[in-house]
Amino acid sequence: MKRDADHLTLSGALARIPRFGEAGAVAAGLIGTFAWVLGWYWPTAAEVGRIWWRTETFAHGLLVLPLFAWLVWRKRDALVGLTPRPVPVLALPLALAGFAWLLGGLVSVAALTHIALGAILVIGSVAVLGWRIARELAFPLGFLLFGIPVGEFLLPVLMIYTAEFTVGALRLSGVPVYQEGLHFVVPNGRWSVVEACSGIRYLIASLMVGTLYAYLHYRSLKRRLLFVGVAIAVPIVANWVRAYMIVMLGYLSDNRIAAGVDHLIYGWLFFGVVILAMFWIGSRWREDHLPASARVAVSVPSGARRGWLGVLPLAAVTALFPPMLAHLHQPVEPFAVTLAAPAPAPGWTMVNEDLAGFRPHYRGHRGELYQVYRRGDGRTVALYVAYYAKQGPGAELVMWGNDLVEGEDLRWIRVGGGSEELAVGEVRRAVVSDHLRRLAIWHWYWADGRVMTSDYLAKALLARDRLTGQHDDSAFVAVIAPIEERPEEARALVADFVREHMGGIGAMLAGAEAGR
C-alpha cells in the first residue's frame, strides 16, 4: 500500500512538470521573437543598452531582462498544456509600432524609438505565443516596459516642486531665503536644484521595485494598485525632505557637511531607509501565502502546430521599417546658409556690439545670425536666428541640447519664463541671469512659413517633410533685451522692435529658403 502511495505522489509531481515539447515551444517563441526583433532594430537596442550602462537614472534597466527571465520561469507550471498559437491579426499593431519607430528615427526622437522598440517586443511576443500564453505571461511581458529609458520629461516639474518645497520648509524653519527659480541663497551659501536633485532616479527605481513587490506579494488588484501608488508618492515626498535636510545640514554646519560627496551618499542612504520602511509596512498586508487563482486547462486543437505559419506575416511586418529608414536617411553634404540681418526700421540703427556676451545655445544649424539694434533713446535689443535645413541627426531645430542655456553652463541660469503675445503671435518668454545682470528673451520657432512655440508641432512638421520629400527649412528666432529697473520697459521695447521688424525677419527667412 505504501508503494502505491509513493507511486501516486511521484506521478503527481511529474504531472506538474511542463512537458519538454511545450516548454521548448514557449522558450523558442520568446527567444526567436527577441532575436528577430533585436536583430533588425539592433542600433536602437544597443543605444538603450548604452543608456542603461552609462546613465545612473536608468541603471535599473540592467536588471529588467534577468528579472523577466526569472518571472517567466516562475510561471512554468501555469504553462502546462499550452502550446504557442500565433495571432496574425496582431500584424496591424506591430505595423503601427514599427511606423512609430520609423517616425522617431526620421526626426531623431530617441524616446519615441525606444518606446516603439519596447512595444514591438511585447506585441511581437504576444503575437507569436498567442492569447492563452500571453495571458499567463502578462506581468512578465509588461515588466519589460521598465527597460524603456523614458521619464526625463518629468525633470522640470520635479525640480520645480523640489525647489518650492525646500524653500518653503526653510522659511518655516526660520531660515531667510532669497529664491530665483531653481536657485536660492541662504545667509551662508548658494544652492541650486539640478537634475540630480529632482528625485527622478528615486522615483523610477521605486516604481519598478514597488511594482514587482506588489505583484509577488499581493493577490488582489486593489492592494497591488494601492502599493504601486505608494511607491510613486513616497520617493517624491522623500526627495523633498531629503533636499530640505541637506540644505539645513549645510546651513547649520556652515557647509562643513552635506555639501560635497557626502551630499550624494547621504541622499542615497536616506532614500534606502525610506524604501525599506515602505516595504516593511507593506509586508504587513502581504497575500503571497494565499493560493493563486487556478487556471482552467484548455485543450489545444491538433492542428495548432500548423499555426506557426502565422508567424510569417508578423516577421515580415517587423522587418519592414529598418530598410525604409535607411532609404529615407540619405547622407547630406555639409553646407551653409547665409542670413542677412533685416534692415533697421526708422528710429533704429544696427550697432556692432554684444549684449552681455549671451547667446542661445543652438547647434547643428546651417546658418546663424546675431545682430544688435539700438533705438533712438539709446536702448538696445539683440536679434538671434539659428537656421536649419535638410535636417538630420545632430543637425535639427528641436533636439537634445538645443536650449536657451547650455545644461552645463555655470554662468547663465534660467530664472523665469512663460508665454506672451507679440505682433508675430504667441511666443515664449524667458529670463536668464548671471547673478549680476538679467536678460529677457522672447523666442519662437519659424517652420512651414509660420510662427509656433510647440516642440511637438515642429517635430511633426519635420516628420511630414521628411516623409513627403519637401523642404524642411525652419529656424529658431529670439529677441533679447536687458532688464533694468522696470521689466515692463524691456517688454515694451521688444514689442516695438518685433512689430516694426517682423516683416523684415519673415522676408529674411523666406529668402533663405528660396535661395537654396
**pLDDT, tens digit (0-9, with 9 covering 90-100), for 419-461:** 999 999 999 999 998 878 889 999 999 998 899 999 999 999 9
pLDDT digits (tens, 9 = 90+) for 267-313: 667 777 777 887 787 777 766 655 555 444 444 444 445 566 778 99
Structure confidence at residue 1 (pLDDT)? 43
Q: What is the mean pLDDT of residues 490-510?
A: 94
Q: What is the mean pLDDT of residues 202-213?
A: 91
Is the model's pLDDT at 13 over the cut of 50?
no
Share the mean pLDDT of the chain: 86
Q: Give the residue, 100 or 2, on which the prediction is more confident.
A: 100
Closest alpha carbon to 21 in 214, 300, 279: 300
Grid cell 512638421 is found at: 461
Q: What is the mean pLDDT of residues 339-345?
A: 94
pLDDT digits (tens, 9 = 90+) for 360-408: 999 999 999 999 999 999 999 999 999 999 998 889 999 988 999 886 6
**C-alpha of 454 from chain center:** 16
How far apart CA 36 and CA 316 sit, in angstroms, is 10
DSSP string of 396-433, one letter each residue: -SS-TT-BSS-TT-SS-EEEEEEEEEETTEEEEEEEEE
Q: What is the pTM of this model?
A: 0.84
Structure confidence at residue 196 (pLDDT)? 76
Structure confidence at residue 225 (pLDDT)? 92
Is the model's pLDDT at 10 over the cut of 60?
no
pLDDT digits (tens, 9 = 90+) for 40-85: 999 999 999 999 999 888 999 999 999 999 999 999 888 887 888 9
What stretch of H or E contains 479? strand 474-483
Instruction: Flag the least confident range among 108-112, 261-265, 272-276, 332-336.
Output: 261-265
What stretch of H or E contains 483? strand 474-483
